[in-house]
């Protein structure tokens, strides 16, 4: 992937996500790039990252990050600005936890999922294997 910018790499990954597939490979999420400037932490290409995880509406992720970091955040352009200084490792750990809890199918570990409501409880329905898994919180 040499010669590609980080943004191009994300676009390419997004384009490669099969809408429906029987492949067994585990979903590989790109490393999240973040940097601290003054009292704030900036996450690069945040909007594209939410598309890679097929969550065009990032409200759950924003809520999740607010809880984990115990600070507020805001989308600015295609970046996410978090109030406070956080390491890239912390942020990657949060993204991985979010993926495991809210995005990846518990059965086949694919990201081809969406939310359904059952008896007022939100669950994850997998489009690849059809499994329905509980979401622990949210
Ligand atoms: Zn599945």
Question: How many angstroms does the Cα of residue 90 sit away from the middle of ligand 1?
Answer: 27
Please, which pLDDT band fits residue 41 given cuts at 50, 70 and 90?
Answer: very high
Going by C-beta distance under 8 Å and a sequence separation of 6 or more, which residues neighbour residue 14?
48, 51, 52
How far apart CA 124 and CA 114 sit, in angstroms, is 6
Per-residue confidence (pLDDT) for residue 57, from 0 to 100: 84
What residue numbers bound the domain in which 112 lies? Answer: 105-138
Please, which pLDDT band fits residue 55 given cuts at 50, 70 and 90?
Answer: confident
Q: Decide: 27 and 16 in contact? Cβ < 8 Å.
A: no
Residue 42 lies in a domain: yes
Question: How many angstroms does the Cα of residue 112 sit away from the middle of ligand 1?
Answer: 7
pLDDT score of 13 more than 90: no
Residue 24 lies in a domain: no
pTM for the predicted model, two decimal places: 0.80
Structural domains in the chain (count): 2
Please give the sequence-ordered ranges of beta strands (E in DSSP) within 19-62, or none if there are none: 34-37, 40-43
Per-residue confidence (pLDDT) for residue 16, from 0 to 100: 75
Question: How many angstroms does the Cα of residue 22 sit away from the middle of ligand 1?
Answer: 10
């Amino acid at each position: 992937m040499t010669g590609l910018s980080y943004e191009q790499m994300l676009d390419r990954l997004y384009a490669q996500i099969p809408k429906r597939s029987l492949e067994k490979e585990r979903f590989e999420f790109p490393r999240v790039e973040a940097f601290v400037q003054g009292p704030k932490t900036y996450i690069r290409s945040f909007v594209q990252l939410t598309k890679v995880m097929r969550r065009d509406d990032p409200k759950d992720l924003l809520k999740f990050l607010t809880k984990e970091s115990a600070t507020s955040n805001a989308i600015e352009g295609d970046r996410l600005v978090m109030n406070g200084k956080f390491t890239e490792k912390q942020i990657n750990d949060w993204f991985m936890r979010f993926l495991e809890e809210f995005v990846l199918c518990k059965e086949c570990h694919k990201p081809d999922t969406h939310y359904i409501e059952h008896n007022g409880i939100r669950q994850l329905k997998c489009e690849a294997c059809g499994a329905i898994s509980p979401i622990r919180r949210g």
